[in-house]
């Protein structure tokens, strides 16, 4: 592959077909989801078309950027842009999770106590559901006919604690992989990257098992009132992010096997490792506030 | 294929595939213009309905849909894309960057928008009709009682959010990374500073909106109970979360306007801006305060007294940095060699009329008074003063100010002044009487009203139609400038300072090198 001796100060890409295709893909995907919800027969076609198009775009667009990187078109300044982009993308993700935590805290501190007559005006409690008792985790909802509560609470010590250890260990592994990358030890890098992915998948497996237990044995579902709602939405979005993170790690492993990364030039590796640490930290908060306290 | 077809195809692919910040800026501005007129037509229909009491023109449910879509389209379709378009055009020119930092993502963040508005406008034609609960989408109106099209609104909002976040990341990366070496942070033009801070607001606020509408979607279809008290949730939670997005959003729509005015007033006063550092600090503190005032939108929904008092004071605190800004604009005018070209006229009108909107905002911040004003036309008057004579006037000022740089032609000054004077009179005829209606108790978002409100409503409707028609002069003037117009010099304005005036007019397709 031809390599430029010195990269241009800042590489400006030529007009590209990927963005507009990505916009169409996103449009079809969301349109598909909403039509599936509405039970329209064409929803699945839109969804599949959009998803395939988006996968194609991601593959093509990332390949184009990787090729530019391999051609040596990415100057230090260019790399800085990518780093800033990833950093602030993660900040926006923090805000996304933040609002779900905000909903959890508001529910626990204000909504449930008010319904139980423990704060604010007692009328809310007296008029709406006078027999309702505030508690957390909430097993008996204000209106059990509409929202039947769960039979049991997901214990923190047990599978969630094991999962915490698994995810934290995988965070250690990716850091070790990073050290080896910086020391140009390719085999160790690959090994620890592989272990990171393995532990990520293990985590997802445990999470899946936990969900299965919750649905089949504990009657803890999305529909079982605010406890089930916050539990599944928070852990569910986290699990979705772990899945995306694991896919990103897989791409990084493949690229690492192809020898794409140099000790001084490996933005993609750093970006994925930041992302992985981000999902770790979110998990710590989940473990504390959703499972434990 | 004939030659004609080929050039047609080349033209289409140029705009579809472009990675040039000037092209993308133009696309944003065109989209914003289209949405501005669509939203404007909705406003005109609202004003026809309200010209007389009684259900005279459209049925109440359709009226509610118009109110909802008018709000969503003007906020997300007209004001925000216009500011992003201006950012795309001007930030690289002002800081000496070769382009935006991520040109392909830039294209993506634009092209997501037309699809989002396609979905949003399609809701009008769906069974059960368009969303009818106001742009704030309060639960349970949008969950239990929302029409089926609400889900498509949610899809559109997700697209808008993705586009805004990508756009904001791009702007931050450009400003941090692509400034020309001598352009230190405290030498950046204030428009760049204002967008820098706005971009941070977008990055924090838009994911919040995405999260909230996701909860709404799950409450509607997957049995969750975030906003349903029967399952232990709370509809008021929706309002807290929405306004935690909503209040920063309000400043997203005004901070770039502050930046524009801070560019224009020095140019036509032929003086440097007064108190540059304080202007920067004021924007930053307004941005910070925007995250701790959200509950002033919901004083009447029920909240602890202590919380109401805290939110009242934090809200009033915003008047301090805003006052600093107004003071500095006036101080810049003081003893300047002032001329009154159209951008300057809009800028001065901005300072005066935005201040009126600011003052009515202060009145609304006072908790006991707010109990009276809540959900009346007083609120409508307030936010139209800050959004029309604030945000929109700053955009119009910016377009007149930079149009010669973009097109290489001067606009027609007579038409510009005509547009300004009709607009500034009509805007006050339209929105000032709303204060009186609100104080007299006329509720907002209702298709009908008692007889005693008729006179003021007729005045408002007439003002609104003049205001709407005056914008045709604006449109005509812009189109005329693109094709005819006197040749512009590279400096364009005698008192203009800054990098963007050092390059030719029209700005060449590629400008600076790093």
For B71-126, write each residue's pLDDT tens digit: 999 999 999 999 999 999 999 999 999 999 999 999 999 999 999 999 999 999 99
Q: Is the ipTM of this complex over 0.90?
A: yes
pLDDT category at B331 given cuts 50, 70, 90 is very high
pLDDT, tens only, A195-244? 999 999 999 999 999 999 999 999 999 999 999 999 999 999 999 999 99
Residues in A closer than 8 angstroms to B18, CB to CB, are 15
How many pairs of residues across A and B have Cβ atoms under 8 Å apart?
203
The mean per-residue pLDDT over the stretch A46-53 comes to 97
pLDDT, tens only, A2-48? 455 577 889 999 999 999 999 999 999 999 999 999 999 999 999 99
Which residues sit opposite B443 in a β-bridge? B376
Residues in A closer than 8 angstroms to B233, CB to CB, are 107, 111, 226, 229
Query: Does the structure show a pLDDT above 50 at B366?
Result: yes
The token duo for B262 is: 């801070």
Mean pLDDT taken over chain B: 96
pLDDT score recorded for residue A2? 46
Task: Quote the CA–CA distance of B453 and B443 in Å, as a whole number.
Answer: 11
In this complex, do B119 and A30 lie within 8 Å of one another by their Cβ atoms? yes
Helices B413-439 and B377-386 meet at what angle, rounded to 10? 150
Q: How many beta carbons lie within 10 A of that of residue B37, not counting itself?
A: 15
pLDDT category at B1 given cuts 50, 70, 90 is low
pLDDT score recorded for residue B441? 94
Residue B250: strand, helix, or coil: helix
pLDDT, tens only, B126-160? 988 899 999 999 999 999 999 999 999 999 999 99
Identify whether A231 is preceded by a cis peptide bond (ω within 30 of 0): no
Query: Does the structure show a pLDDT above 90 at A173?
Result: yes
Task: Quote the CA–CA distance of B298 and B374 in Å, as a whole number.
Answer: 9
Identify whether B140 is preceded by a cis peptide bond (ω within 30 of 0): yes
pLDDT score recorded for residue A122? 77
The mean per-residue pLDDT over the stretch A127-152 comes to 93
Mean pLDDT taken over chain A: 94
Nearest-Cα distance to chain B for A290, in Å, is 15
Which residues sit opposite A262 in a β-bridge? A265
Do the Cβ atoms of B195 and B256 come closer than 8 Å?
A: yes
Task: Quote the CA–CA distance of B20 and B212 in Å, as a whole number.
Answer: 34
pLDDT score recorded for residue A5? 59
In this complex, do B226 and A93 lie within 8 Å of one another by their Cβ atoms? no
Give start and end residues of each alpha helix (H) in B318-341: 319-333
Q: Does B514 touch chain A (CB under 8 A)?
A: yes
In this complex, do A88 and B101 lie within 8 Å of one another by their Cβ atoms? no
Query: Does the structure show a pLDDT above 90 at A101?
Result: yes
Residue A213: strand, helix, or coil: helix
pLDDT, tens only, B408-462? 999 999 999 999 999 999 999 999 999 999 999 999 999 999 999 999 999 999 9
- CA nearest to B244 within chain A: A99
Q: How many beta carbons lie within 10 A of that of residue A37, not counting itself?
A: 17
Of A10, A20, A77, the CB nearest to B111: A20
Mutate which: A17, A18, A26, vs B, most B CBs within 10 A: A26
The mean per-residue pLDDT over the stretch A262-288 comes to 95
Of B155, B162, B224, the CB nearest to A31: B155
The token duo for B23 is: 């092209």
- CA nearest to B120 within chain A: A31
Q: With the CA atoms of B354, B357, B362 and B366 taken in that order, what torsion angle do they form, in degrees rounded to the nearest 10?
A: -170
Mutate which: A10, A18, A19, vs B, most B CBs within 10 A: A19
Do the Cβ atoms of A290 and A234 come closer than 8 Å?
A: yes
Q: Does B108 touch chain A (CB under 8 A)?
A: yes
Do the Cβ atoms of B28 and B81 come closer than 8 Å?
A: yes
Provide the residue ranges of all domains of chain B, joining segments of one domain with +.
17-501
Which residues does B68 contact at the CB level (< 8 Å), separation at least 6?
B130, B131, B132, B133, B134, B135
Could you please state the CATH topology (level 3) that the domain comprising B17-501 is classified under. Answer: Cytochrome C Oxidase; Chain A (1.20.210)
Nearest-Cα distance to chain A for B200, in Å, is 9
Of A27, A34, A115, the CB nearest to B229: A115
Which residues sit opposite B409 in a β-bridge? B487
């Amino acid at each position: 592959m031809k390599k430029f001796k010195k990269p241009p100060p800042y590489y400006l890409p030529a007009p590209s077909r990927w963005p507009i295709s990505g916009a169409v893909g996103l449009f079809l995907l969301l349109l598909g989801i909403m039509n599936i919800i509405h039970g329209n027969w064409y929803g699945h076609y839109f969804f599949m078309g959009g998803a395939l198009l988006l996968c194609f775009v991601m593959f093509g667009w990332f390949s184009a950027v990787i090729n530019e990187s391999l051609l040596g078109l990415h100057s230090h300044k260019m790399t800085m842009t990518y780093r800033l982009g990833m950093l602030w993308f993660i900040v926006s993700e923090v805000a996304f999770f933040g609002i779900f935590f905000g909903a959890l805290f508001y529910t626990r501190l204000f909504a449930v106590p008010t319904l139980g007559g423990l704060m604010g005006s007692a009328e809310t409690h007296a008029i709406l559901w006078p027999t309702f008792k505030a508690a957390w985790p909430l097993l008996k909802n204000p209106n059990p006919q509409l929202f039947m509560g769960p039979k049991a609470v997901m214990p923190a010590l047990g599978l969630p604690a094991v999962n915490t250890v698994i995810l934290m260990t995988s965070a250690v592994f990716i850091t070790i992989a990073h050290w080896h990358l910086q020391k140009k030890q390719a085999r160790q890098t690959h090994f620890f990257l592989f272990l990171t992915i393995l532990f990520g998948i293990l985590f997802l497996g445990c999470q899946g098992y936990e969900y299965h237990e919750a649905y089949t044995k504990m009657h803890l579902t999305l529909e079982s009132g605010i406890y089930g709602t916050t539990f599944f939405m928070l852990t569910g979005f986290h699990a979705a992010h772990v899945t995306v993170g694991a896919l990103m790690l897989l791409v990084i492993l493949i690229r690492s096997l192809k020898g794409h990364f140099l000790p001084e030039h490996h933005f993609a590796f750093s970006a994925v490792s930041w992302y992985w640490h981000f999902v770790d930290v979110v998990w710590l908060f989940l473990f504390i506030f959703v499972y434990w306290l | 294929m004939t030659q004609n077809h080929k050039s047609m195809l080349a033209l289409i692919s140029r705009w579809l595939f472009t990675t040039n910040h000037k092209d993308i800026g133009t696309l944003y501005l065109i989209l914003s213009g289209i949405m501005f007129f669509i939203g404007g037509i909705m406003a005109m229909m609202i004003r026809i309905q309200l010209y007389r009491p009684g259900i005279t023109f459209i049925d109440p449910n359709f009226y509610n849909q118009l109110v909802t879509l008018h709000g969503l389209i003007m906020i997300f379709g007209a004001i925000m894309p216009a500011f992003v378009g201006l950012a795309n055009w001007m930030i690289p020119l002002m800081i000496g960057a070769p382009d935006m930092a991520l040109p392909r993502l830039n294209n993506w963040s634009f092209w997501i928008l037309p699809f989002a508005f396609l979905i949003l406008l399609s809701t009008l034609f769906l069974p059960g009709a368009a969303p009818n609960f106001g742009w704030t989408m309060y639960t349970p109106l949008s969950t239990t009682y929302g029409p089926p099209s609400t889900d498509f609104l949610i899809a559109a909002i997700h697209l808008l959010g993705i586009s805004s976040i990508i756009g904001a990341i791009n702007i931050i990366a450009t400003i941090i990374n692509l400034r020309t070496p001598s352009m230190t942070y405290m030498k950046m033009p204030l428009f760049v500073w204002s967008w820098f801070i706005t971009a941070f607001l977008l990055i924090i606020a838009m994911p919040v909106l995405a999260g909230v509408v996701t909860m709404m979607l799950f409450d509607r279809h997957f049995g969750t109970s975030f906003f349903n008290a029967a399952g232990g949730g709370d509809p008021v939670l929706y309002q807290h979360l929405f306004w935690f997005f909503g209040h920063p959003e309000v400043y997203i729509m005004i901070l770039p306007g502050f930046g524009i005015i801070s560019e224009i007033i020095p140019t036509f006063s032929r003086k440097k801006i007064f108190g540059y550092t304080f202007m920067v600090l004021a924007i930053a503190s307004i941005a910070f305060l925007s995250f701790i005032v959200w509950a002033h939108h919901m004083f009447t929904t029920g909240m602890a007294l202590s919380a109401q008092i805290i939110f009242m004071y934090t809200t009033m605190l915003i008047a301090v940095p805003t006052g600093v800004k107004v003071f500095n604009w006036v101080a810049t005018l003081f003893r300047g060699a002032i001329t009154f070209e159209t951008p300057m006229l809009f800028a001065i009108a901005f300072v005066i009329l935005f201040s009126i909107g600011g003052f009515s905002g202060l009145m609304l911040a006072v908790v006991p008074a707010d109990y009276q004003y809540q959900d009346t036309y007083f609120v409508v008057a307030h936010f139209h003063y800050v959004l029309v004579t604030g945000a929109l006037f700053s955009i119009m000022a910016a377009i007149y100010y930079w149009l010669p740089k973009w097109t290489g032609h001067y606009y027609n000054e007579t038409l510009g002044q005509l547009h300004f004077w009709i607009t500034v009179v009509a805007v006050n005829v339209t929105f000032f009487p709303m204060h009186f209606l609100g104080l007299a108790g006329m509720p907002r978002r209702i298709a009908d009203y008692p007889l005693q409100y008729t006179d003021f409503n007729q005045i408002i409707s007439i003002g609104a139609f003049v205001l709407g028609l005056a914008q045709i002069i604006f449109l005509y003037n812009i189109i005329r400038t693109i094709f005819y117009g006197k040749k512009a010099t590279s400096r364009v304005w005698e008192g203009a300072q800054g990098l963007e005036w050092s390059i030719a007019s029209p700005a060449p397709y590629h400008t600076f090198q790093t």
